[in-house]
C-alpha cells in the first residue's frame, strides 16, 4: 500500500505552464531601449544612436535584431560592472513599472496565478533588465537573452548566447522544462513569438492592449 501511495503521489500532474512574452505583451513598449535611454541620459543616448546609425542601416539588409541589439550593448554598456548594472535595472523597474506594465496583461497574469499555473516570462530583452520585473510579478522562471561578462564581472559588450527570439524561445523552454514541454497558454505580440505560440493550447496573439494610467 505504501508503494502504491508513493507512486500515485509521484504521478500527480504538474500545474499548467503559461508563457508570457515581455516587451509589447506585458509592457507597452521595449524595456531595453527605454532602460538605455534612461540610464545614458539624453545627450549620451543621442551620441550613442549616431554611432549606431551604420548598424541600423545594415539591419535593413540583414534583419538580425540580435546583431543590432548586441551593438547597442557594446555602445552603451561595455565595461559596466555587473553589480552596478543590476542595481540600475532595479531602480529602473521601480520607476517605470507603473508606466510600462499593461493592466489587462497583469489581470491575465493574476488570473492564471489564481488557477495555480506556473508562470514563465520568455523575452528577447537582456535578462538583467527583465529580472526585477519578473521578481516583482513573482514569475516562476525567467528565460531571456543573456549578456556576456569578462573575468572582472564587467559587461563584455556581447551576448553569452543566442538572442532569445523565434525558435530560440522554444529551445530555451525545452532546455528549462524538458523536450516534451507543453504550454497551457502563451502570449506574444510579434513574429518572434510565433513558434512559442504554436506550442500552446491557448494562443494569445496581441490580446493585450491596455495602457497604464500611472502619473508621470
151-156 contacts, C-beta under 8 A, 24 or more apart: 152/81, 153/81, 153/82, 153/83, 154/78, 154/79, 154/80, 154/81, 154/82, 155/73, 155/77, 155/78, 155/79, 155/80, 155/82, 155/85, 156/78
In contact, 125 and 145? CB cutoff 8 Å: yes
Spatial strand order in the sheet of 118-126: 141-145, 118-126, 17-20, 183-188, 200-205
Q: Report how many domains make up the chain.
A: 1
- pLDDT-based confidence at residue 58 (cuts at 50, 70, 90): low
Provide, rounded to the nearest whole percent, the portion of the chain with pLDDT above 90. 83
- pLDDT-based confidence at residue 212 (cuts at 50, 70, 90): very high
Dist CA 12 CA 214 (whole Å)? 42
DSSP assigned state of 15: P
Q: Please state whether beta strands 118-126 and 141-145 pair in parallel, antiparallel, or not at all (unpaired).
A: parallel
- pLDDT-based confidence at residue 14 (cuts at 50, 70, 90): confident
The answer to whether residue 36 sits within a structural domain is yes
**CA angle in degrees (0–180, nearest 5) for 188-101-213:** 130
Assign residue 171 the CATH number of its domain: 3.40.50.1000
- Structure confidence by residue, pLDDT tens digits, 95-136: 999 999 999 999 999 999 999 999 999 999 999 999 999 999
The answer to whether residue 213 sits within a structural domain is no
> What is the predicted pLDDT for the residue at 59?
61
> What is the predicted pLDDT for the residue at 60?
65
The answer to whether residue 28 sits within a structural domain is yes
* Residues spanned by the domain of 152: 2-205
- Structure confidence by residue, pLDDT tens digits, 159-196: 999 999 999 999 999 999 999 999 999 999 999 999 99
In contact, 102 and 210? CB cutoff 8 Å: yes
* Position 9 pLDDT exceeds 60: no
The answer to whether residue 211 sits within a structural domain is no
Grid-cell match 494562443, residue found: 203
The answer to whether residue 174 sits within a structural domain is yes
Amino acid at each position: 500500500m505504501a508503494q502504491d501511495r508513493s507512486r500515485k503521489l509521484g504521478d500527480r500532474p504538474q500545474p499548467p505552464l503559461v508563457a508570457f512574452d515581455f516587451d509589447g505583451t506585458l509592457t507597452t513598449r521595449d524595456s531595453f531601449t527605454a532602460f538605455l535611454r534612461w540610464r545614458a541620459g539624453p545627450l549620451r543616448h543621442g551620441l550613442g544612436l549616431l554611432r549606431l546609425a551604420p548598424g541600423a542601416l545594415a539591419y535593413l539588409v540583414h534583419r538580425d535584431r540580435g546583431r543590432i541589439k548586441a551593438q547597442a550593448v557594446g555602445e552603451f554598456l561595455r565595461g559596466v560592472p555587473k553589480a552596478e548594472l543590476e542595481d540600475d535595472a532595479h531602480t529602473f523597474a521601480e520607476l517605470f513599472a507603473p508606466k510600462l506594465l499593461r493592466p489587462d496583461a497583469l489581470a491575465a497574469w493574476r488570473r492564471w496565478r489564481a488557477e495555480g499555473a506556473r508562470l514563465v516570462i520568455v523575452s528577447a530583452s537582456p535578462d538583467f533588465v527583465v529580472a526585477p520585473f519578473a521578481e516583482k510579478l513573482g514569475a516562476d522562471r525567467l528565460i531571456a537573452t543573456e549578456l556576456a561578462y569578462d573575468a572582472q564581472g564587467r559587461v563584455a559588450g556581447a551576448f553569452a548566447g543566442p538572442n532569445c527570439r523565434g525558435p530560440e524561445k522554444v529551445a530555451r523552454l525545452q532546455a528549462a522544462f524538458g523536450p516534451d514541454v507543453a504550454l497551457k497558454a502563451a502570449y506574444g505580440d510579434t513574429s518572434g513569438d510565433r513558434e512559442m505560440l504554436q506550442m500552446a493550447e491557448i494562443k494569445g496573439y496581441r490580446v493585450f492592449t491596455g495602457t497604464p494610467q500611472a502619473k508621470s
